Structures are given as structure tokens and as C-alpha cells.
Amino acid sequence: MSKAKSKAKVEKADFEDIVDVIEEELDEEAEEVVYTPSDPEWSEYVLDQMHDSELKQGNPTVDGLRRVTERVYGEIVSSTSEIFNYDTSRGVCTVVLTLTQSEILVTSKAECC
């Protein structure tokens, strides 16, 4: 019986060692790198914040731009959209989206359907 108890203690200790290793690996992966607009990786970082549904042929949609801009820069104070170009046969349009925040003005073109 003492062998069974010592075996159980060893197995429990082994299990705890495995769990600790996995938790350490998850902690390392959870660290998110945040880039600034002056970093060469900035555009890719911003596009990576978009959901697949917010991209059309690799281009951001208006809704995607609004959501990611607010996440990256902060609250949007005002927003205006102007249809720049449209193609009714394909059911798509290009919109000029202007977002204003407290001290930042962001203007971008986005394709939507």
C-alpha cells in the first residue's frame, strides 16, 4: 500500500509539472506586441485587428475601419461617409470615410457592398 501512495504522489507531482509548463507557454503567447504609426509593421498590425467579415478582397470595410480605429486610437467624436464611386452591376461602392477623434482626423477609402 505504501508503494501505491508514493506512486500517486509521483504522478500528481508529474502532472503539476506538466501543467506549470503549459501555463508558462500560454503566458508567453498571450503577450501582444503593439506597434505605433511610425513602425514599418503598423499597416499590417492594423489590418490584423480586422475580422475576416470586415475585409473585402483584402480591403477594409467602413464598419471595420470604424471599429478598429476606435480600438487603436480611442473614441470617435464624429464620422462622415461619402460615396466616392459605385458599380451597381457588381453591387459594390467605394466610400470616403472621415473619422474625427479628440485631436486626430482620419480619412480613408473603403470598399463596401
Kindly state the average pLDDT of the residues 35-51.
88
Do the Cβ atoms of 63 and 79 come closer than 8 Å?
no
Percent residues over pLDDT 90 in the chain: 4
pLDDT at 41 (0 to 100): 92
Coil, helix or strand at residue 103: coil
Residue 40 confidence class, pLDDT cut points 50, 70, 90: very high
pLDDT at 16 (0 to 100): 62
pTM of the shown model: 0.52
Please report whether residue 58 resides in a domain: yes
Please report whether residue 5 resides in a domain: no
Please report whether residue 79 resides in a domain: yes
Q: Work out the mean pLDDT of the chain and round it to a whole number.
A: 74
Percent residues over pLDDT 70 in the chain: 63
Question: What digits encode the pLDDT tens for the residues 21-39?
Answer: 555 555 555 567 778 888 9
Kindly state the average pLDDT of the residues 61-79.
84
pLDDT at 1 (0 to 100): 53
Question: What digits encode the pLDDT tens for the residues 10-23?
Answer: 555 566 666 565 55
| Total structural domains within the chain | 1
Coil, helix or strand at residue 95: strand
Please report whether residue 43 resides in a domain: yes
Please report whether residue 14 resides in a domain: no
Q: Which domain holds residue 92?
A: 32-112
CA-based nearest residue to 77, from 101, 41, 44: 101
Max distance between CA atoms of the chain, in angstroms, equals: 81
